[in-house]
Amino acid sequence: MRTYSSLEEFLNDLPALAAEAEETLREQEGLFLMETRQGVQVWLRLREGRMSIEEGGGAPDCAVLADEQALLDIINGRMHPLRALLGGKIRVRGDKARLQALISLMNGKTK
């Protein structure tokens, strides 16, 4: 599993990570908003096993608010997503069940 030093670096790889896991993700769909406390908003759409980064708009199925470092800790496997949620490191609004596909990509566990 690759280690990322910035959220931007991870986001650049995200479509390729989703492509590698396309078969696993094929049945999953959703519009996600990742928002950092540093003011970064990233809209992600998962459709038919493909992940794309969008300009945004509309109501997300699931929104995640977190400090950028907390997101990186989850992405890099240094923090379990459930521990981050229960510990208040991240907040989630909307359909938490849809979040599982995104968490799988973040943790590299889609294969």
CA angle 70, 49, 24 (to 5 degrees): 80
Which pLDDT score, from 0 to 100, does residue 48 have?
80
Q: Look at residue 106 in the predicted model and tell me its pLDDT.
A: 61
Q: 107 pLDDT exceeds 70?
A: no
CA dist 87 and 4 (Å) reads 22
The answer on pLDDT for 105 being more than 70 is no
Strands 62-66 and 30-36: parallel
In this prediction, residue 104 carries a pLDDT of 67
pTM of the full predicted structure? Answer: 0.79
Q: Higher confidence at residue 98 or residue 65?
A: 65
pLDDT tens digit sequence for 28-64: 788 899 999 989 999 988 888 788 888 877 899 999 9
* Backbone torsions φ then ψ of 107, nearest 5 degrees: -95, 0
- What the chain holds in terms of domains, given with CATH numbers, is 7-107 (3.30.1050.10)
Write the burial class of residue 53 (CB in 10 Å: 0-12 exposed, 13-18 middle, 19+ buried): middle
Q: What confidence tens digit (pLDDT) does each residue in 5-25 have?
A: 999 999 898 888 878 877 777
**pLDDT over 60 (residue 111):** no
